[in-house]
């Protein structure tokens, strides 16, 4: 019941944040889809924080809503093409494991590394990871991990296309691990 209320609250906030969004990210895999509304806050640090509200689902009727905050910037050394980010992500979801449905969530911490290749064609490689241990997980989830790598191409200054791979999995109270996503994907990210 708690998960259902929290998930409903997050889903209600998504359209409000989308109205103030500075960008939107669409990601499609062979059996998955995700949309994320992105915005920025200048109240966190020098460069602000990237804030996102996303909704993921797959063909097994599993879904996961998420809210994230990532503070990022360039390194202070000579390599200005290298960007680092640290932040947190909240997950709330439901797994459709026939004959039962499991609800759960978690608070994860993680980071991101992005390297922009110094070339005439703007290419970048991205790696990110978020981990929610059992102590910050709730209900039927005993942990959540998300790993992602992607190769990005800047099509225009306000649009990026990418191809990547992500693994999103939960550890259940029964001790088993369940993968919601473990495949390649393509996506586009638009900035307004």
Whole-structure pTM value: 0.84
Question: Tokens in use for 173?
Answer: 């109270």
Domain boundaries along the sequence of the chain: 2-191
Tens-level pLDDT at each residue, the chain (192 residues): 434 444 444 444 444 444 456 899 999 999 999 999 999 765 544 556 889 999 999 999 999 999 999 998 766 655 668 889 999 999 999 999 888 899 999 999 999 999 988 876 789 999 999 999 999 999 999 999 999 999 999 998 889 999 999 999 999 988 899 999 999 999 999 988
3-class DSSP string for the chain? CHHHHHHHHHHHHHHHHHHCCCEEEEEEECCEEEEEEEEEECCCCCCCEEEEEEEEEECCCCEEEEEEEEEEEECCCCCCCEEEEEEEEEEEEEEEECCEEEEEEEEEEEEEEEEECCCCCCEEEEEEEEEECHHHEEECEEEEEEEEEEEEEEEECCEEEEEEEEEEEEEECCCCEEEEEEEEEEEEEEEC
- CATH annotation of 2-191: 2.40.160
């Amino acid at each position: 019941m708690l998960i259902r209320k929290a998930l409903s609250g997050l889903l209600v906030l998504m359209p409000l944040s989308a109205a103030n969004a500075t960008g939107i990210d669409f990601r499609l895999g062979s059996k998955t889809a995700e949309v994320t509304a992105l915005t920025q806050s200048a109240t966190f640090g020098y460069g602000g924080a990237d804030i996102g509200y996303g909704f993921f689902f797959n063909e097994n009727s599993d879904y996961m809503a998420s809210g994230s905050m990532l503070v990022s910037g360039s390194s202070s050394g000579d390599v200005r093409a290298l960007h680092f980010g640290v932040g947190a992500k909240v997950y709330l979801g439901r797994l459709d494991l026939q004959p039962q449905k499991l609800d759960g969530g978690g608070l994860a911490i993680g980071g991101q590394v992005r390297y922009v290749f110094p070339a005439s064609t703007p290419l970048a490689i991205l790696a990110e990871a978020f981990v929610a241990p059992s102590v910050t997980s709730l209900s039927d989830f005993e942990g959540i991990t998300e790993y992602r790598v992607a190769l990005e191409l800047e099509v225009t200054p306000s649009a990026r296309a990418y191809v990547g791979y992500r693994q999103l999995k939960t550890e259940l109270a029964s001790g088993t691990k369940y993968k919601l996503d473990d495949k390649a994907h393509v996506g586009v990210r638009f900035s307004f």
